[in-house]
Amino acid sequence: MIIAIDGPSGSGKSTVARSIARRLGITYIDTGAMYRCVTMWCLEHEISATDEDATARAAAALDIDLAYHDGVQQVLVNGTDCTRAIRSAEVDANVSSYAALPKVRTLLVEKQRRLAQAKHVVAEGRDIGTAVFPSAEVKIFLTANAQARAHRRAVQRAGGDVASGSIVSTTKADEAAILANLLHRDDVDSHRKTAPLKAAPDAFHIDSSDKTVDEIVSIICARAQPYLDSAAAATSASTQPAADRDAAAATSASTQPAADRDAAAGASAAASAAHTERYSWFYAHAMSEFPRASRVFLAVLCAILFPVTKLLWRWRCFDEIDVHALAGKPYIVVMNHVSAIEPLITMLYLHHKKIPLRTMYKSEFNRHRFVAYLFAIAGGIPVVRASADMTCMHWCTQALSRGEWLLVYPEGTRVRNLDIKPPIRAGFAFLALRTHADIIPAAVSGAFSIAQARSFVHKFSRVCIGFAAPISSHTSSTSPHAEGSARMSKKKMLELLERESMNRVYTLRDELKARFHTRA
């Protein structure tokens, strides 16, 4: 989970972020301090902000570390503590100029993103929710009136601490000078070409002028806590059983040298992560907001694939529900997974019905840029398997909140033995309860035989897909499926919803096979 706090200078971002990190026990990334380090270094070595290349080389060479000592953050530059030095008036006056350089921002943003990988973090700055972490689960825009911000900065510079109550005397002249500097920085930050200061569209605004630090921290922690609570559920749902994981690792180890395997895995993961970041805009926005060129390309592609797949597999969809009547409402479609055929057919069918469908798929498919683009414009949302991928959960939550449908394969991977029911690895039940989206069990029959067929003729058997009546995710005691659910633990409720949904999927699969005389 990522908490992104943006706002103008002096609004209290650093103080609030540090307090959140202590209260929630997560990592604090002081992005502003990183830009201040570059500024301080360049000023000391007489590198002008007009020389972007020299500044970028200096930024790349600096070893910036954010360390903690007795609960207090220290900013180290090449091993030297510069915590106080980077808060000087000279750095204040020049940091906006250096921070506005595109090459410098690119370098530091990469460092910031690496710090946020595989951990819960809180980050603050001026473009955290818009440029650095656009997919952050919690986005805050923290502001205050200019006079309050100038007073805080004057106290801080004099060695006091507004948050702790350690206030030192300041002069009106000091505050007036700081006020003028803050207003100038606001203007520069708001009008720069690269990542200007602005609130993200989905950011929650907090005016800190008349609020205490504890009040602000409590507001933000209340918004972040559900994501932290869901991490355990997502981890449990997506973690592969130890026996399966060990067997897979043993097989891999016996067929490929360790060095080669690690290098290949690293390169693959890096490519997947890079393309995921490249197309993150698609994952975070409604399909109706996609660029016109992408929407036209998808429409043409579907117009071609629809009749082609009809000819190849003579597929048809059987509905127990009126799909048109459900349009505009959020639903989670859960389906058995045996091949690459059923995701394609489901997408084509619902696209034909004009229902926006987001499909959760494994991030490994993003290794290739063109494939990543195709999945993105088709509504795909990548998930890092065997991890608590809270970014994916956030994208899925956003999609459901917009009334889009989400297709999930709870089995986690293609099933190759229909006699075994694999463990459920997707957190679809948690998503359903969180977003109040009902679950539509769906099933495919016929695709398994095609995927496993060795004969060319059998590669073109008939395929049927069915959609069952929705299962309510509501937890009221009036639900016939959740008697006494008001007293039921959340874990038990998730297990009940998962089991009921998947049992209906497997029952529907068998019904399709018997009704339409398809193969397995």
Cβ–Cβ < 8 Å for 154, 146:
no
The annotation status of 209 as a binding-site residue, yes or no, is no
Provide the token pair at 175. 């505050």
Instruction: List, in sequence order, every beta strand (DSSP E) within 58-210.
Output: 64-69, 72-77, 80-81, 121-125, 138-143, 204-207
Neighbours of 254 (CB within 10 A): 7
Half-sphere exposure of 383 (CA within 13 A, CB side): 30
Tell the burial category of 52 from Cβ atoms under 10 Å away from its Cβ (0-12, 13-18, 19+): middle
Do 152 and 142 touch, CB atoms closer than 8 A? no
Q: How far apart are CA 512 and CA 130, in angstroms?
A: 47
Is 251 known to sit in a ligand binding site?
no
Angle at 60 between CA 57 and CA 62, to 5 degrees: 110
H runs (alpha helix) in 338-482: 341-352, 369-377, 390-401, 428-435, 447-452
- Name residue 438's beta-bridge partners: 331
Q: Quick check: 132 and 29 in contact, CB under 8 A?
A: no
The DSSP bridge partners found for residue 359 are 380, 407
Residue type, 323: V
- Answer for the pair 181, 92: CB distance below 8 angstroms, yes or no: yes
Any binding-site annotation on 421? no
7 appears as a binding residue in the annotation: yes
Q: Is 473 marked as a binding-site residue?
A: no
Find out whether 19 is annotated in a ligand binding site.
Answer: no
328 is in an annotated binding site: no
In the annotated binding site for ATP, the residues are 7-15
In the annotated binding site, the residues are 7-15
